[in-house]
Amino acid sequence: MIPLKRRKISHTESHQNESCKFPHVPIFILERKMGASRRSFLTRLARSKGFLIKEAYSSAVTHVVSENNSGDEVQSWLENQTGVDTSTSVHLLDVSWFTESMAAGRPVTVQDKHRLKVNPKCNGDDNVILMKSYACQRRTPLKHHNLFLTEALELLAENAEFSENEGRSVAFRRAASVLKALPHRVHSMDELKSLPCLGEHSQRVIKEILEDGTSREVESTRQSEQFQAMKALTGIFGVGVRTADRWFRKGLRSPTDLIRMGQPLNRAQQAGVQYYDDLQKPVTKAEADVISDIVQQAVCAVLPGAEIQLMGGFRRGKEFGHDVDFLITHPEEGKEEGLMAKIIKWLEERGLLLYQKTTRNSYLEKMDGPARPPNNMDRFERCFSIFKLQISDRSTGSHAERSVSQSETLSWRAVRIDLVVSPYCQFAFATLGWTGSKLFERELRRWAGQEKHMSLSSHALYDNNQKHYLRAQTEEEIFAYLGLEFIPPSERNA
């Protein structure tokens, strides 16, 4: 749909303003879902009968006519495009009112059957935003107005994950996501009445914070020995929730305890303990850019023409992250095979990898595409690694030479990096899947399954009704297949 624009008022419209029979009923016909040709036909028909049809929406319009849209869709679209609040100033009407008026030769009385239904808004001075229930339908900026609430809900979500209560964790994260998308700071519970995904538990926490400035449950959780221990143990590279919980039950509370008690560790966990302090420090965007230059150098050296893209939170605009993700491909299908081993060899020869584990690509479209598991773990060739980042002016934002051969370094630190190689035919899906956020991707898959009867993964999109794959070369095409407005990476911070 082409965005609503201010159009020059044509000679025809100027003439009809002077000669129309019903100047007190300025009508705007919404092109959304109707199409330009039908809108043009209805405009000519109405003007031939003396109706006043406006080419552009403005505060002068009293009747908005739409076809195949809900009231919420029309109101939200008009407000987004024009900045005008239509909630009380205009009739939002189904095309049935228009056709009845054409038949009668005059504007018929607006009845309830003609009106498009709009969900009620909260009372108050602040504008209440119509909020879609799926995070993939909403624009969620990196910086928002309700950090004091979302941090509390996300802490409870993290604690639920430590208890392997996925349902509760997702509920808290969905509630936090809604608050992140609000264009204003929440001051009272009344402002939340019409918002989706806010369960009773989340509302209790929010209410307590709004009234008392803090939540007893959140603070109790934050200070609990179990939460602090699980956070420390799961922060070790190579350690998941189940392993951390098993260690906690044995009385282990920190990486130091693992060493002191002689806890057996696998190779990844050994590296995680060894470089624990470094890996707990946030990675800056400047550091990610330095690593990106080095990986780019490695990729180009072993396979000219290959493409590499910085993924994850940094692609969404974050200035800090806990690791650095790269997605690699080659425009010539099949050229990417064997690429990972060559990249790893190049990096190891230069002493840049402190640890690495590579998994092969095991995705087979015929077997794995249509029935992806809920967690969407992809099957790409991937290398989980700990990178040895030389620290100098180069990693603090200086424009100094960034060649790997440069030896004048002050020191180094360990940084987690993930390298992922994708076939070119799957690159758009891999890009979408590896951009995040985690909840945004989860909601995309949920939308695909529940609303569109499709199966979406980081490899493919499968239409379960038509029993075939939908091919895409860009993220925009995938959003279009799913019937969603395209949301750029910077606004996927659900």
State yes or no: is 112 an active-site residue: no
The answer to whether the CB of 46 falls within 8 A of the CB of 102 is: yes
The answer to whether the CB of 227 falls within 8 A of the CB of 162 is: yes
Q: How many CA within 13 A on the CB side of residue 11? A: 0
The answer to whether the CB of 460 falls within 8 A of the CB of 426 is: yes
* CA 360 and chain centroid, separation: 28
Q: Angle CA(333)–CA(338)–CA(341) in degrees, nearest 5?
A: 145
Q: For residue 430, what are the contacts with CB-CB under 8 A and spacing of at least 6?
A: 327, 329, 378, 380, 420, 422, 458, 459
In Å, how far are 87, 158, 205 from 175, measured between CA atoms?
A: 26, 13, 11
State yes or no: is 325 an active-site residue: yes
State yes or no: is 418 an active-site residue: yes
- Token digits of residue 274: 């060894």
- Crossing angle, helix 216-223 and helix 225-234, to 10 degrees? 60
What is the longest distance spanned by two Cα atoms in the chain? 93
The answer to whether the CB of 96 falls within 8 A of the CB of 114 is: yes
* Spatial distance between the Cα atoms of 49 and 104, rounded to a whole number of angstroms: 10
- Token digits of residue 126: 């602040």
Query: One of 94, 245, 325, 378 is an active-site residue; which one?
Result: 325
The amino acid present at 229, given as its one-letter code, is A
Query: One of 125, 323, 368, 463 is an active-site residue; which one?
Result: 323
Query: One of 289, 393, 418, 463 is an active-site residue; which one?
Result: 418
* Residues tagged active-site: 323, 325, 418
